[in-house]
Amino acid sequence: MIALSPRSLDEAVRHLADDPALVPVAGCTDLMVRGPEALHRMDRVLDLLGLPELRGICAVSEGLEIGAATTFTEIRHSAAIRAAFPALTAAAEQVGGWQIQNRGTLGGNLANASPAGDSLPVLLALDATVILAGPAGQREVRMDGFHTGYRKTALAPGEILVRIRLPHPPAGTVQAFRKVGTREAQAISKVVVALAGHVEGGRIAGIRLAAGSVAATPVRLRAAEAAILGSSPGLVTAERAGRTAAREVQPIDDVRSTADYRRFALERVVRRMVLGLT
Ligand SMILES: Cc1cc2nc3c(=O)[nH]c(=O)nc-3n(C[C@H](O)[C@H](O)[C@H](O)COP(=O)(O)OP(=O)(O)OC[C@H]3O[C@@H](n4cnc5c(N)ncnc54)[C@H](O)[C@@H]3O)c2cc1C
């Protein structure tokens, strides 16, 4: 296997343009478990971990930018992320075990595009934007438009995911993350949910709910959001959110869970999260 280790984003983009068969790799925690056949086809890889443009967590005027090659361990340890985006910290703490968190990157989780990826609903709920770079330069894609189908993304051939931008949430925003799996730890989710919402003058003034493992892509729970926006927080509102969320998704039966259980779990998780809005 040939591994290219570019020193800059420009160099990496040039390599990809010259050789479209090159596979970009970060922590390899997804790629290395794809099976011998897939690994055999991967004879030329482009190592992204050394690219300075993909590393680090920095404050920008709108919020925070996180390099795509930032590991979940780095996210867990970031005081800036914990202060502003505790839901992302909570998700990072529950990805795999420590070994996976040490290698696995936020960009890899997004680009791998599993509907069960833990960070995906969080980034939807937090209204993230992803920044991509390719031969034509850089462009931005709202998180809502990044996952275009089952394991499909808006990344065009030759493009690299460079950074993820999270805007400052409105003051008083409550954030929540919950993953339901077979075990407490080291489980791929049956259902994963994230919420960001705030209350003003006794009414829910903003609400973003998102879920994974309940459709082919991570989804915003827009009907549930619409059902409670402007309502006063409390049990009746929370129950309405849970019921609506369970109705609006199309989960499947698979090895990890049944569609019925996913709906059941989603209803309860959403209800409990919305109850946390004060
Ligand atoms: C034992 C185990 C447990 C796991 N547990 C969890 C879990 O609990 N929750 C969870 O969400 N995931 C889990 N995963 C999956 C995996 O660890 C994550 O998805 C991780 O974030 C992938 O990141 P990576 O850097 O290792 O990606 P890689 O394996 O390096 O790459 C994954 C895909 O993304 C592409 N890619 C990576 N970076 C970029 C980039 N910057 N630009 C363009 N394309 C890119 C690669 O070409 C590849 O197609 C687990 C995996 C294992 C093996």
pLDDT 10s digits, 60-119: 999 999 999 999 999 999 999 999 999 999 999 999 999 999 999 999 999 999 998 999
CA-closest residue to ligand 1 atom 48: 112
CA-closest residue to ligand 1 atom 39: 108
Contacting residues for 24 by C-beta, under 8 A, at least 6 apart: 12, 16, 45, 46, 48, 111, 160
- Ligand 1 pocket check: which of 75, 100, 138, 139 to mutate, most ligand atoms within 8 Å of Cβ? 100
For the chain, percent of residues with pLDDT exceeding 70: 97
Phi-psi region of 238 (alpha: psi -120 to 50; beta: other; left: phi over 0): alpha
Rounded CA separation 72/100 (Å): 8
Rounded CA separation 241/234 (Å): 11
* Distance in Å, CA 117 to ligand 1 centroid: 9
- Ligand 1 pocket check: which of 1, 25, 30, 160 to mutate, most ligand atoms within 8 Å of Cβ? 30
pLDDT score of 37? 66
178 CB-contact burial (10 Å; exposed 0-12 / middle 13-18 / buried 19+): buried
- Parts of the chain belonging to CATH 3.30.390.50: 174-275
- Parts of the chain belonging to CATH 3.30.465.10: 2-167
Determine whether the shortest distance from the Cβ of 53 to ligand 1 is under 6 A.
Answer: no
pLDDT score of 186? 72
The string of pLDDT tens digits covering residues 41-56 is: 678 899 999 999 999 9
Determine whether the shortest distance from the Cβ of 111 to ligand 1 is under 6 A.
Answer: yes
Of the pLDDT bands very low, low, confident and very high (cuts 50, 70, 90), residue 39 is: low
Residue 92 near residue 101 (C-beta atoms within 8 A):
yes
140 CB-contact burial (10 Å; exposed 0-12 / middle 13-18 / buried 19+): exposed
The string of pLDDT tens digits covering residues 129-150 is: 999 999 999 999 999 999 999 9
CA-closest residue to ligand 1 atom 37: 108
- Ligand 1 pocket check: which of 9, 95, 139, 152 to mutate, most ligand atoms within 8 Å of Cβ? 95
What does pLDDT average to over the chain? 94
Rounded CA separation 131/146 (Å): 10
Choose among 208, 203, 221: nearest CA to 175. Answer: 208
* Top-level class of domain 174-275: alpha beta
Rounded CA separation 194/136 (Å): 34
Other beta carbons within 10 angstroms of residue 83's beta carbon come to 10
Helix (H) or strand (E) holding 5: none
Determine whether the shortest distance from the Cβ of 31 to ligand 1 is under 6 A.
Answer: yes
pLDDT score of 20? 85
* Top-level class of domain 2-167: alpha beta
Helices 235-248/259-275 angle, 10° precision: 150
pLDDT score of 86? 98
Rounded CA separation 73/120 (Å): 17
pLDDT at 40 > cutoff 70: no
Residue 32 is classified by DSSP as: G
